Structure 1
Amino acid sequence: MKQNYTVRHGALEGVEVFLAVARRRNFRRAAADLGVTPSAVSQAVRALEARLGAALFVRTTRSVGLTEAGQRFLDRAGPAFEEIVAAGEAARDVGQRPTGLLRLSVPRAVVPLILEPMIASFCRAYPEIELEIAASDEMVDLATGGFDAGIRLGQFIAPDMIAVRLTPAFSFVVVGSPDYLDRHGRPERVEDLRHHACLRLRRSNGAIAPWSFVDGNGTIEATVSGPLIAHDYPTLLGAALQGVGLAQIPRPVAEGPIAAGKLRPVLEGISATTPGVFLYHPGKRQILPKLRAFIDHLKSAV
């Protein structure tokens, strides 16, 4: 049997007119409330009654009353129509001013570096926005995951996304604790990494990320080995601080421990770079005010 794939029209046609007449018990007054002619009100009600297959009003020359079918329709349609109106007002509210739930997918390493310094000021500036931060290093689909935006390294953002730069380009630096380097020595070349404990990152697609270095205008990808595989940079950083081995991590993540003398960079002359950190979103339609407010606030803070 052939199915009907056409879109149903007119399910709500005439309902608002019916409710106006039922409230006023008068066609002329209902027409005035709606800003239309009494004739238009009568036609809309007759069309609704024809579609429902039941008379909704008892009409006399002096009064208008509800039939039993009309009363039942009023009891169910009245609250439902009010909910539809309220839903429209709520959607319009979100579309016109910064309000509602703002969900972001963010790598764990980005939270302390970029978000923590501005979360308090953003929440104070926009008290009607609920900010939800899902800290995960997995690449998620924003639409299916119900996220308004994500934050990622530039090379991992799909080309059909709108990307907003948050940081300059930076390098990936190989670091080790002073204790580890005292025990195992400093690697001077990529080949020396074969004799070191290298802490590795497993990407969200399941692959273990090679260590990348620059060689003139080209790139070297080194397959390394070691005692630990982690799914995020903060775990690698913590292990490197404990002297477990060497880790290749974004320079901003390691900057604090390097400055404090807790980690030492090696192989700096051939460090690979990344385009930087970006906020990204689909952006095919107008950006909702809540996301626009967050982007503007974040850009002013970083």
Structure 2
Amino acid sequence: MRASDLSELAAFEAVARHRSFRKAGEERGVTASAISHAVSNLEERIGIRLLNRTTRSVSLTDAGGRLHAQLLPAFDGMGAALDSLNQFRDTPFGKVRLNVPNSIAPFVVGPMLGPLTAANPDLEIEVVATDRLVDIAEEGFDAGIRLGESLREGMVAVRINPRLRLIVVGSPDYFARRAIPETPHDLKDHVGIQNIFPNGNRFAWEFRKDGEAIDYWPTGPLALDDHELIVHAAQGGVGLGYVWEQRAAAALADGSLIQCLEAWCQPEDWLYLYYPSRRNMSASLRAVIEAMRV
């Protein structure tokens, strides 16, 4: 096989995985037009169309799907072979791509980045923070971080720090107008800022105490998918916010927010760093895990 053949197959595999010429180009460090040219050369050489292209989307033809399925084990094997060379290095080498929820990234990943990169100068870490639920294998990530309840089958999961919890906060000005709730049942008399996922779905505020579990669905006029915005809105007296405790720490410390219902806000499920079970763990990913594991 010629080097150009392998390059064209690698370009096709990246496009097939990302369903995007732009994302494939970003992953491989070239332009989208270079990726498109490589795939077109491959299609012309084999005489079969592998991709359906429109101005808005890219999809696999039947032939493209079959080729991609057969290429995956080969590329995984080559990746594992290269990763195995790390055992001959004194320190981990290469890039680790992590997917982390945006709402928790600053206090989950942030603290470990400096010490980890200082201890491993040949290690590259690429973090993509989004609250969108991502298929890490499909989108080319080495690993992801999620709560245990949202992990998919076929993943190896490693428990990591810190353990988080969601709390209810409001501003002094807000509580000057309304009594501080003593139980979740009192929230019916309050305005709550609705929490939404990037896909628009809302989620309930969950409370537990002495074996009693209560789900509260806020009905306030404001719905936000970013915890930093929720903190600012709560500071402005819009209503009560339901946010990660670490997100509100500075506002609680300076008095611009007041926490309530603390006894009802229990720690969340553990966080996990997870990766596909079919992949051999590289020394680089192992270094990241060791920096974060419980």
Normalised by the length of structure 2, the TM-score is: 0.65
Aligned to 2:230: 236
Look up the equivalent residue of 1:113 and give its one-letter code.
F
Aligned to 1:273: 267
Counterpart among 125, 141, 148 of residue 154 in structure 1 = 148
Q: Report the identity percentage.
A: 36
Contact 2:159 2:270 in 1 (8 A): yes
Aligned to 2:83: 94
Shift of 1:246: 0.6
Contact 2:209 2:264 in 1 (8 A): yes
Aligned to 2:106: 112
- Matched ranges for 1:180-191 at <5 A: 180-191=174-185
Paired residue secondary structure (1:164): strand
Counterpart among 253, 256, 259 of residue 250 in structure 2 = 256
- Over the aligned positions, Cα root-mean-square deviation in angstroms equals 2.6
Deviations 1:211-236, CA, capped at 9 Å, x for gaps:
11125324211121113211132222
Counterpart among 114, 120, 135 of residue 141 in structure 1 = 135
Once the two structures are overlaid, the 10-residue window that deviates more, 129-138 or 250-259, is 250-259
Look up the equivalent residue of 1:261 and give its one-letter code.
G
**TM-aligned CA distance change 1:168 to 1:135, over 3 Å:** closer
Paired residue total: 215
Look up the equivalent residue of 2:268 and give its one-letter code.
T
Contact 1:173 1:271 in 2 (8 A): yes
Look up the equivalent residue of 2:176 and give its one-letter code.
D
Deviations 1:119-178, CA, capped at 9 Å, x for gaps:
122222223232111110111001111111111222222243222222354432111122
Contact 2:94 2:284 in 1 (8 A): yes
Paired residue secondary structure (1:123): helix
> Distance in 2 between the 1:249 and 1:90 partners?
39
Contact 1:196 1:245 in 2 (8 A): yes
> Distance in 1 between the 2:152 and 2:278 partners?
14
Normalised by the length of structure 1, the TM-score is: 0.63
Shift of 1:91: 6.5
> Distance in 1 between the 2:79 and 2:279 partners?
19
Larger Rg: 1
> Distance in 2 between the 1:215 and 1:92 partners?
51
> What are structure 1's unaligned runs of at least 5 residues?
1-10, 13-87
Look up the equivalent residue of 1:96 and give its one-letter code.
L
